[in-house]
Amino acid sequence: MKKSFLYLLSLILVINVTLVGCVFSPNKKDNFPPVSRNNETILQAFYWEMGEAGYPKEETDLWLFLAQKAPELSEVGFTAVWLPPANKAMGGKRDVGYATYDLWDLGEFNQKGTVRTKYGTKEELENAITALHNDGIKVYYDAVLNHRMGADSTETVKLSPYSPDKPGQTIKAWTKLAFPGRKNKYSDFQWNWQCFDGADWDESTRTSGKFLFEGKSWDYTFIWNDDYLMGADVDYENHKVQKDVTNWGNWIINEIGFDGFRLDAVKHIDYRFINQFITDVQKNSNKDVFFVGEAWIENVDDLVGYLNTVNNEDLKVFDFPLRSAFADMINGTDMRTLQNVGLVNKEGYKNRAVTFVDNHDTNRDGKDPGIYRRKYQAYAYILTREHGIPVVYWKDYYIYGMKNELDKLLEVRKYYAYGPGYEVDNNDEDVYSYVRAGLDEVEGDGLVLMISDGESEEIISKRINSRQPNTTFYDYTGHVQGNIITDERGYGNFKVRKSENEGWSVWVPVIE
Ligand code: CA
Ligand code: CA
């Protein structure tokens, strides 16, 4: 009796082990569904503090490092990388890149005290682009076109009677850029005060202000009088400036080999020029050039207004309104709001959204911690969504130790996040769910996403239509154990834990 009981017990154990094995076996690559279409996913390949003391040494030569990493990035599902500004900036090799000095110097000329930029030389950059292309990864340039900094010399400039500061007076402005180290290679265009609308510094009195130059008017922006941001503000009503910057854009795509642009501070640049720049660069290339604008506008109707003002279908924008919803999730929110927030949920604009959780501005040491809680819930949302192109932030991925869990979500995106997306009808304050039906022609794709901002640690069950009848699902994140089998109509009782640290589950079909 006792012996048979032990035998039974060991049999149960064996069965259990087998079952547990079954639950985990789909993680093996040979059990993934085939990748029929390639979901686009961007890696933002830098952060503000990259290369500084206390951060990984190998990142100080980013172009070399990226060339090495290309196979690994491709394998996990990244289809594009957004590089930091690759041109020479005011601060030389310590400059992150946003203080544009010479767009035509990609680490090739001795200017600002250095040949290389913070990230390496032009040759290293070109090698990185080749390596990334060899692994099927597109490369996007971070174009900082709004302003110039670090001019070579000053000029005496008379100010407009409409200048906000010192109207009608004369200042000494840093507006002469002759690029002495480059010696007119690629472009012989040299900049003087007439290339700018205004500046923020008078060298003669060493005072700051907002100075509009004589005969100039601020450029056309979506938000009125929003042209000036910093430095010497480029006048995009000047035809010679338009021509040089457009030539440069064509060179970056057609000669250097980039595949697209992230347009920095785009709402502070003349929208007529932005439209023309996109049109011209697109027309002059046989690539489908990618454009995403950083229009930092958190109200979705205003962001739509911005897109309509530029009026160019090729322009996408970062979904700052969606990110605001993730910021609300930090301290708990009504999870039902997630079904209609952001550009990614705005009818007619869903495909214009580039979704993200944090970037080099929203997360910066000593300044802003960014989305410091429930960040995986936010990533699970953008990486499973039907619309929007998601961006993963390097600092989250490599520095904050999120790589292992993010890799699971990236695998979900690569193999399962296909087919029409459906909102469910039973979201509540604590749980948001979303379904991808999968593609008809593919066996084993599709998913049920559940994310929670609850904290009770209990497992919640929701009856959800997976759109996949008689299908066995398991939670790819491993947060909830066991299988869920849907009925003949596709319904099943899917589960998620109300938990900050495990409050996201992605149920995917088991493939035998
Ligand atoms: Ca102007
Ligand atoms: Ca401007």
Q: Domain of 444: which CATH number?
A: 2.60.40.1180
Q: How far is the CA of 199 from the centre of ligand 2 (A)?
A: 10
In this structure, are 407 and 343 located in the same domain?
yes
Centre of ligand 1 to C-alpha 233, Å, is 9
Is 36 inside any structural domain? no
pLDDT at 28: 46
Instruction: Using the mean position of ligand 2's atoms as its centre, give its distance from the Cα of residue 227 in Å.
Output: 4
Q: How far apart are CA 81 and CA 401, in angstroms?
A: 20
Q: For the chain, 512 residues long, give each residue's pLDDT as a single digit of tens.
A: 344 444 444 444 444 443 443 444 444 455 898 887 789 999 999 999 999 999 999 999 999 999 999 999 999 999 999 999 999 999 999 999 999 999 999 999 999 999 999 999 999 999 999 999 999 999 999 999 999 999 999 999 999 999 999 999 999 999 999 999 999 999 999 999 999 999 999 999 999 999 999 999 999 999 999 999 999 999 999 999 999 999 999 999 999 999 999 999 999 999 999 999 999 999 999 999 999 999 999 999 999 999 999 999 999 999 999 999 999 999 999 999 999 999 999 999 999 999 999 999 999 999 999 999 999 999 999 999 999 999 999 999 999 999 999 999 999 999 999 999 999 999 999 999 999 999 999 999 999 999 999 999 999 999 999 999 999 999 999 999 999 999 999 999 999 999 999 999 999 999 87
Domain carrying residue 501 = 2-31+421-509
CA of 389 to the centre of ligand 2 (A): 27
The residue with tokens 């490599």 is 398
**Residue 199 phi/psi, 5° resolution?**
-150, 175
Pair 260, 396 in one domain:
yes
Both 248 and 348 in one domain: the answer is yes
Instruction: Tell me how far the alpha carbon of residue 106 lies from the centroid of ligand 1, in angstroms.
Output: 27
132 and 220 assigned to the same domain: no
* Predicted pLDDT at 14: 42
Q: Is residue 294 annotated as a catalytic residue, yes or no? A: yes
Question: How much is the pTM?
Answer: 0.94
Instruction: Give the span between the Cα atoms of 469 and 446, in whole angstroms.
Output: 12
- Is 182 domain-assigned? yes
316 and 283 within one domain: yes
Alpha-carbon distances of 24 from 28, 80, 195, 474, 512, rounded to whole Å = 8, 30, 62, 9, 12
Centre of ligand 2 to C-alpha 264, Å, is: 11
How far from 262 is each of 84, 280, 326, CA to CA, in Å?
9, 16, 22
Please give the tally of structural domains in the chain.
Answer: 3
Q: Tokens for 162? A: 């409409």
Structural domain ending residue among the three candidates 415, 441, 464: 415
Distance CA 319, CA 333 (A): 19
Q: Which amino acid is at 456?
A: S
The helix/strand/coil state of 77 is coil
Q: Residues 178, 255: one domain?
A: no
Last residue of a domain, one of 218, 234, 250: 234
Q: Indicate whether 127 and 175 sit together in one domain.
A: no
Q: Which of 95, 227, 270, 294 is catalytic?
A: 294
Say what angle helices 300-310 and 320-329 make with each other, to 10 degrees.
160
CATH of the domain at 125: 3.20.20.80
Sheet (strand 147-148) strand order: 147-148, 232-234, 196-202, 207-212
* Same-domain status, 260 and 407: yes
pLDDT at position 24 is 46
pLDDT at 247: 98
User: Cα–Cα distance between 18 and 4 in angstroms, integer?
Assistant: 21
User: Where do the H-state alpha helices sit in 352-421?
Assistant: 375-384, 394, 403-415
**Which one is catalytic: 49, 219, 264, 502?**
264
CA of 109 to the centre of ligand 2 (A): 27
Instruction: Enumerate residues with CB within 5 Å of ligand 1 (an ion).
Output: 197, 219, 235, 237
Q: How far is the CA of 99 from the centre of ligand 2 (A)?
A: 13
Q: Are 375 and 409 in contact (CB under 8 A)?
A: no
Whole-angstrom Cα distance, residue 246 to residue 46? 26
Any idea which ligand is nearest the CA of 225? 2
- Nearest CA-CA partner of 100 in 277, 238, 230: 230
| Pair 176, 140 in one domain | no
Taking CA atoms, 453 is separated from 75, 283, 320, 323, 498, in Å, by 31, 46, 20, 15, 7
Instruction: Mark out the alpha helices in 187-316 (DSSP H runs).
Output: 239-251, 271-283, 300-310
- Interior/surface letters 108-144, b for 16+ CB within 10 angstroms, e for the rest: bbebbebbbbbbbbbebbbbbbebbeeeebbbbbbbb
**According to the model, what pLDDT value does residue 30 have?**
56
Give the model's pLDDT for residue 289. 98
Distance 218 CA to ligand 1 centre (A): 4
